[in-house]
Amino acid sequence: MQNLVLTGFMASGKTAVGRRLARRLGWDFIDTDELIESRKGCSISEIFARDGEDGFRRVESETVCALRPERPTVISTGGGTYMDEESRKALHRLGIVVHLVVSMPTVMKRVCRGKRRPLATGPDAERRLSGLLESRTPTYRLADVLVETDGLTIDQAVSRVMGMIEPRLRAGHGSHGGHGDHAGHGDDATQTGQVLGSGAEPLPQGSCGEKVEKG
């Protein structure tokens, strides 16, 4: 069965884009953060505080490796999920892995500076997040498809992703886990995407009311 997996750094828009993609495709939607919170009966922040990052990553890997969608599904993952080798293999077995590329200035505009993002708190958050993004980028590039999202609305990001994955869906995808196809500003995928006017909904800018992405 074909599925679509979204990976990327915190605040790259995985949940917002994933929900919209699922609606456009007529597929189910799964957010792995929400699965973890349901399974543990508490928030991601509380898991970090109680069990530390290592404890959280164990639960995250177990959750991802146990995924068995019954219907075609768009799966939104946490910012660090793809860094774990076993989780990465499991995600590639599930379907097409799309990395939503985001720059650090955009991350800092979107990230909530409060307690809802455990890895984005403290006075030196920007320096730490910049180092974290830099260290993760080579692994993110193992995704099947890379899509830049800076400056895009949700619908524009969805259209760009659709432009990249539709040929794979038609042909029958074979996930390779190597350096992926890349859609960026100025690429053909941008030109064929849905360009919206001033009323377009931007990618979430990180208010304290958002769902946490633990990074």
What CATH number is given to the structural domain containing 118? 3.40.50.300
For residue 188, the model assigns a pLDDT of 40
Residue 200 lies in a domain: no
For residue 180, the model assigns a pLDDT of 63
Q: Tell me the β-bridge partners of 98.
A: 6, 145
| 187 CB-near residues (< 8 Å, 6+ apart) | none
For residue 178, the model assigns a pLDDT of 54
Residue 202 lies in a domain: no
User: At residue 48, what are phi and psi to the nearest 5 degrees?
Assistant: -60, -45
* DSSP letter (8 states) at residue 1: -
Mean pLDDT of the residues in the chain: 82
Residue 207 has pLDDT above 60, yes or no: no
Residue 28 has pLDDT above 80, yes or no: yes
First to last CA, the chain: 28
Cα separation, 65 vs 91, in Å, equals 8
Residue 27 has pLDDT above 50, yes or no: yes
Residue 212 has pLDDT above 50, yes or no: no
For residue 197, the model assigns a pLDDT of 29
Q: Tell me the β-bridge partners of 202.
A: 153
Residue 201 has pLDDT above 70, yes or no: no
For residue 189, the model assigns a pLDDT of 37
Of 195 and 159, the structure prediction assigns the larger pLDDT to 159
Q: What is the mean pLDDT of residues 41-66?
A: 93
Residue 195 lies in a domain: no
Phi-psi sector, 186: left (phi>0), alpha (psi -120 to 50), beta: left
Residue 80 lies in a domain: yes
Residue 19 lies in a domain: yes
Residue 210 lies in a domain: no
For the ranges 14-18, 146-150, 201-205, the lowest mean pLDDT is seen at 201-205
Residue 76 lies in a domain: yes
Residue 212 lies in a domain: no
Range(s) of the domain holding residue 81: 4-190
Domain count, the chain: 1
Cα separation, 20 vs 181, in Å, equals 21
Provide the pLDDT confidence category of residue 109 given band limits of 50, 70 and 90: confident
Cα separation, 190 vs 19, in Å, equals 20
Cα separation, 98 vs 181, in Å, equals 9
Residue 148, amino acid: E
Provide the pLDDT confidence category of residue 184 given band limits of 50, 70 and 90: low
For the ranges 105-114, 117-126, 191-200, the lowest mean pLDDT is seen at 191-200
For residue 125, the model assigns a pLDDT of 79
Element (H, E) at 127: helix 125-140
pLDDT tens for 115-172 read 455 566 667 778 889 999 999 999 999 999 999 999 999 999 999 999 999 998 888 7
Quote the percentage of the chain above a pLDDT of 70: 75
